[in-house]
Amino acid sequence: MVTAWPVLQGHRPGRITGQVELYLDLATAPGRSLARRTEHALREAVVSGRVAPGTRMPATRALAAQLGVSRGVVAEAYAQLAA
């Protein structure tokens, strides 16, 4: 499953200047749980340069709805990325 999500990017915190699309492929991401696959897909997006470090990520509810997973899955993935 490849899902497009518009990630908001700004040149200063609090200011939105444009959008880029983030494609998360949870089907091919390694890991057994949805949270681990979501974490891997988000991390890969940053490492590959598709999302700049420091870019504000979508709210957990919004990303969960877009991916078709529970909010807890996204919250756990975000928590692991922040750790």
Greater model confidence, 74 or 62: 74
Greater model confidence, 11 or 79: 79
What's the CATH code of the domain at 69?
A: 1.10.10
Greater model confidence, 16 or 36: 36
Residue 66 has a pLDDT of 83
Q: Which domain holds residue 23?
A: 2-82
Residue 22 has a pLDDT of 64
Residue 21 has a pLDDT of 52
Structural domain total, the chain:
1
Spatial separation of the C-alpha atoms in residues 46 and 43, rounded to whole Å = 5
Residue of 54, 55, 76, 57 whose CA lies nearest to 66: 57
Residue 14 has a pLDDT of 43
What are the residues whose beta carbons fall under 8 Å from the beta carbon of 80, sequence distance 6 or more? 35, 36, 39
Judge whether residue 81 has pLDDT over 50: yes
Judge whether residue 7 has pLDDT over 90: no
